[in-house]
Amino acid sequence: MLGEKLVLKEKLASKFKRIHFFVRFSLVLIWFGVLSGFYFFGLIGSLCEALNYSEASILLIIVINFLTFGTISNLNNYIDLIKVKTENWVYGKYIDLDSKIDSNRIQLSNLSDEIKGV
């Protein structure tokens, strides 16, 4: 039973890492797509202009975050919230898996101590 839970924990951890990577990769693809669109429409002609549009988009995100949440420090909280929501989506009903693994280890230790004592 403990072995099954440990295997499940490893499987969920690798699934979370994979999904979290694809979320970050998707955000980079969106950024690249927007810059490619600007290049296609002739708004970007050099690397300097691409950097300027990237900086402008970062400022726009900060302004939208400030207007929405009230402070700039909440941007980090919002990013953490995305990570927590992804974890909840992946782990779901197994949210207390670590505590179950710990209780099973303690129970296994107690049983082995009883067996050695007998």
The full DSSP string for 63-94 is: HHHHHHHSSTTHHHHHHHHHHHHHHHHHHGGG
Query: What are the start-end ranges of the H helices in the chain?
Result: 2-40, 47-69, 74-91, 97-117
Do 54 and 38 form a contact (C-beta atoms < 8 A)? no
Q: Measure the CA–CA gap between 67 and 62, rounded to whole angstroms.
A: 9
Q: Which residue has the higher pLDDT, 74 or 103?
A: 103
Per-residue pLDDT tens over the stretch 58-68: 888 777 777 77
Q: What global pTM score does this model have?
A: 0.54
- SS3 of 95, please? coil
User: 77-112 burial, b if ≥16 CB within 10 A, otherwise e?
Assistant: eeeeeeeeeeeeebbeeeeebeeebeebeeeeeeee
pLDDT score at 4: 81
- pLDDT of the residue at 89: 78
